[in-house]
Chain A
């Protein structure tokens, strides 16, 4: 298997975001809804939500889920009201 330039760059980003006390993906999924609503409303993030933001900087999978949640929750159409 080849680890190409793009993957190494992604890994470097993940590594730079690594913290001893960082949240794990399953912990992020438990609290991502409240984080989404805080971001959406422009509210000041709690320390735990700041930890989520740091996790999202380093975790492509959780970012994908977060963006999916943003899309799912935005501007419900006639079928979604």
Chain B
């Protein structure tokens, strides 16, 4: 069983290149990744080993970024989980080209507007306004970004495919959401109303 270390112990031992500390960290992150990714069928033991090894290298490379705001092991787990999820998202989308993802523009699946409970109709009304705003309120670049992000393409992959920096993408997406929010509010859907309709529709 690995020995318990304080935050300072971890930093000291890892900075010193202590092989036991590195092995303990690898084991700990491997276990954490196993729990975090347990429900993902596409992840096998070999992936977990690779993710853990990569995570340890990242942690060692970033020790100076740890500022003591949390337990060291929490921070290390966050580095590992973030890296693994980013890699899994990248794998999922690496074969999908930006052209293929957006070539046909943003078609929308018709809403089910058949007569039904009133909250269903109200939900459809909200989504219809949102659909229209996507088409009319956003720039082409913003629409492309939002379309890809809604496909759960990770931010780094979207930035890469759009040829922009990650921070620029964050701002682009934020500006797009702000415009959509303005459009909803102009149509009478403030944030509370949106949440209420979404909640009612999910019942």
Task: Choose among B104, B174, B201 the residue with the greatest number of A CB atoms under 10 Å from its CB.
Answer: B174
CA distance A53 to B131 in the complex (A): 27
CA distance A61 to B155 in the complex (A): 9
Task: Choose among A22, A37, A58, A80 the residue with the greatest number of B CB atoms under 10 Å from its CB.
Answer: A80
Q: CB distance A72 to B80 under 8 Å?
A: yes
Q: CB distance A33 to B36 under 8 Å?
A: no
Q: CB distance B31 to A22 under 8 Å?
A: no
Q: CB distance B85 to A33 under 8 Å?
A: no
CA distance A77 to B33 in the complex (A): 12
Count CB-based A-B contacts (< 8 Å).
Answer: 152
CA distance A64 to B84 in the complex (A): 11
Mark A33-76 against chain B: 1 for CB-CB distance below 8 A, else 0.
Answer: 11011000000000000000000001011001100110111101
> Is B106 at the interface (CB under 8 A from chain A)?
yes
Q: Look across to chain A and name the residue whose beta carbon is closest to the beta carbon of B154.
A: A61
CA distance A65 to B83 in the complex (A): 10
Q: CB distance A36 to B37 under 8 Å?
A: no
Q: CB distance A5 to B111 under 8 Å?
A: yes
Q: Which of A3, A64, A74 contacts B134 (CB 8 A)?
A: A3
In the complex, which residues of chain B have a beta carbon less than 8 angstroms from the beta carbon of A68? 36-37, 81, 84-85
Q: CB distance A29 to B1 under 8 Å?
A: no
Q: Look across to chain B and name the residue whose beta carbon is closest to the beta carbon of A27.
A: B170
The A-contacting residues of B in range 83-122, CB under 8 angstroms, are 84-85, 89, 101-109, 111-112
In the complex, which residues of chain B have a beta carbon less than 8 angstroms from the beta carbon of A73? 32, 73-74, 77
CB proximity of A23 to chain B, nearest CB, Å: 10
Q: CB distance A72 to B32 under 8 Å?
A: yes
Q: Which of B36, B126, B171, B177 contacts A71 (CB 8 A)?
A: B36
Q: CB distance B178 to A20 under 8 Å?
A: yes
> Is B180 at the interface (CB under 8 A from chain A)?
yes
Q: Which of B73, B106, B150, B195 contacts A16 (CB 8 A)?
A: B195
Q: CB distance A9 to B177 under 8 Å?
A: no
Q: CB distance A79 to B177 under 8 Å?
A: no
Q: CB distance A31 to B198 under 8 Å?
A: no
12 A-B pairs with CB atoms under 8 Å apart are: A4-B108, A5-B111, A10-B150, A12-B127, A13-B195, A25-B155, A33-B75, A61-B89, A68-B36, A69-B74, A73-B32, A73-B73
